[in-house]
Amino acid sequence: MYPLFLKASAEKQRNIINAALHEFSKHSYDAASTNNIVKEAGISKGILFHYFGNKKNLYLYVYEYVLDTYTEAIFDALNLEERDIFKRFTQMVSMQMNLLQQNPAFFNFLNMTTIERSVAVATELEQISNTKQDYSYEKFSFGIDYSLFKEGINVEYALNILRWINEGIAHRYEQQFKDAFNDFDEFNKLLNRCAEEMEDYFRFIKPLLYTE
């Protein structure tokens, strides 16, 4: 893909990706500044364009990188022998918390891409999203044991509701995550509280969906 970039040292690549993630998670594509990115990455403007040619390539590269990293993290975290959907969710929540701890901009960036409206990248964004996003969801729900559900339960509805609970809680914590970003202990406490709350809701809804 971008051989010049891939030839650079791992640390440099990481710096650039993190700086881009940070900028693109704070601003829309149009409003994001390559000047800010190079400043934060500690590189010159020239080398960035040497690597990626233009802003758009950089943006789409970061998007693919994030989706791939996310998918890979799911692969790592998921124990496919666990066929209980609630345990699966617990696994995924802990995976997401780890990712968030490693790089808070990660999910902010993903959120931004879902509301991105710039015509300059809209079509490519949707294209990449379609090819990659569904895959990780499929992976997540592979091999689920549907017989654990009460008879007559619409499993598709049940799974969607679980996801929306997850997203709803995450969304509620978002601002707090941002505020606590620089306080390591506080940030970890928040992560735990958030995961705990998700667990609470799962405990609440599980007996409603599962047979005794």
Binding residues (CB under 8 A) for its own copies: these are 26-28, 30-31, 111, 115, 117, 154, 157, 160-161, 163-165, 167-168, 200-201, 204-205, 208-209
According to DSSP, residue 53 is labeled S
Using the CB atoms, write b or e for 48-67: b if 16+ within 10 Å.
Answer: beebbeebebbbbbbbeebb
Task: Tell whether residue 118 is a contact of DNA (CB under 7 A).
Answer: no
What is the spatial distance between Cα 174 and Cα 75, in angstroms, rounded to a whole number? Answer: 25
Q: Which does 7 bind (CB under 5 to 8 A by kind): DNA, its own copies, none?
A: DNA
- C-alpha 159/C-alpha 164 separation (Å) is 9
The contact pattern for DNA, residues 149-188, with x = CB under 7 A and - = no contact, is ----------------------------------------
Instruction: In angstroms, give the least distance from the CB of 189 to its own copies.
Output: 22
Q: Among the candidate windows 51-59, 80-88, 167-175, 187-195, which touches DNA by CB under 7 A?
A: 51-59
How far, CA to CA in Å, does 92 sit from each of 79, 83, 139? Answer: 10, 13, 12
55 binds, among DNA, its own copies, none (CB under 5 to 8 A by kind): DNA
Considering only 19, 21, 32, 198, the residue that binds DNA (CB under 7 A) is 32
Orientation angle between helical segments 55-77 and 10-26, nearest 10 degrees: 100
Only segment of 45-53, 102-110, 139-147, 177-185 that touches DNA (CB under 7 A): 45-53
Residue 12 engages DNA in binding (rule: CB under 7 A): yes
34 binds DNA (CB under 7 A): yes
- Report whether 50 contacts 111 (CB < 8 A): no
Which is nearer to its own copies, 12 or 26 (by Cβ)? 26
Q: Bridge partners of 149? A: 210
- Return d(Cα 6, Cα 126) in angstroms, integer: 25
